[in-house]
Structure 1
C-alpha cells in the first residue's frame, strides 16, 4: 500500500461516519505522514487502521522498525524531518506501541462537529 491508497482507505472510513471536512483533511495528513515514514524509515508498512468511535478518529500505522520517532530540529540544510512534528501538532496525544514485529503509532484526533 502506498500513501495515495492509504488516504483513499481512510477517506472511505471517514465518509461512512460523516466526519467534518476539516477533520478529514487533518486525518488524511496524519495518514500520509505516518505511512510515508513507515515506508521511508520503518522498514515497510505492515498495517493501517482508521476507526471512528468514542468522539475521536484513531489512526494506527504499523511498521517493522523498533526505532522511536523523534522530533528533528528544523534545518535549512537538511530536507524533510517534519513528519513527526506534523503528526504531533494534529494529534498531540499520539503515542508508540512497540511489539515483537516492530511498532504501531496510534494517533487519536478528536471529532469536531460537521458544519
Structure 2
C-alpha cells in the first residue's frame, strides 16, 4: 500500500493505475476528489465523465468513512476502454443499496453511484472489502 497522499502511477500504452492512501478522517473525500481530479485531467478524460467519476468517488469514499470502518486506499484504473474507481475499507460488511426516503437528506450514495456508473459492485479484500464503480471511456 502506498503511504504518501500523493498518487503513484504505473502506465503502459493506454493503461494507467493511480493509487492513493486515504486518511482515516473527514478530509478523506476532499483529498480523494482533488487527487482523482488531477489524475483524470492528466489522463485526458472528457469533462462530463470527470464530473460523474468525481461524484462517485466522493460517495464511495464517504461511504467507506461512515460505514466501512475507515477508508484505506483508493485506486483508479483505466485500460483505454473503461475507468474503474476502487475504494478499500476495513469492514467486511456488504454495502447496502438503500431505497431513499423522500424526506431524508442522506442514504442516496450508492443509488448515485449506480445511476452514474456503467456497473458497480464490491469484492472481498485483505483486511476488509473494496467497493468499485466502472465507467465507459468511449
Q: TM-score, normalised by structure 1?
A: 0.89
Q: Distance in 2 between matches of 1:13 and 1:51?
A: 10
Greater fraction of residues in strand: 2
Q: Could you list the structure 1 runs, at least 4 aligned residues long, displaced by more than 6 angstroms after superposition.
A: none
Hey, what does 1:71 align to over in structure 2? 97
Q: For 1:11-22, what aligned pairs fall within 5 Å after superposition?
A: 11-22=37-48
Hey, what does 1:55 align to over in structure 2? 81
Q: Which of the pair has the greater relative contact order for Cα pairs under 8 Å at 6+ separation?
A: 1
Hey, what does 1:81 align to over in structure 2? 107
Greater fraction of residues in helix: 1
Q: Distance in 1 between matches of 2:39 and 2:122?
A: 22
Q: Distance in 2 between matches of 1:99 and 1:53?
A: 21
Q: CA RMSD in A?
A: 1.4
Q: Distance in 2 between matches of 1:4 and 1:77?
A: 26
Q: TM-score, normalised by structure 2?
A: 0.75
C-alpha contact 2:74 2:86 (8 A) present in aligned 1: yes
Q: How many residues of Structure 1 are paired with residues of Structure 2 in the alignment?
A: 112
C-alpha contact 2:72 2:89 (8 A) present in aligned 1: yes
Point out where structure 2 has 5 or more consecutive residues left out of the alignment.
1-22
1:4 aligns with 2:16: no
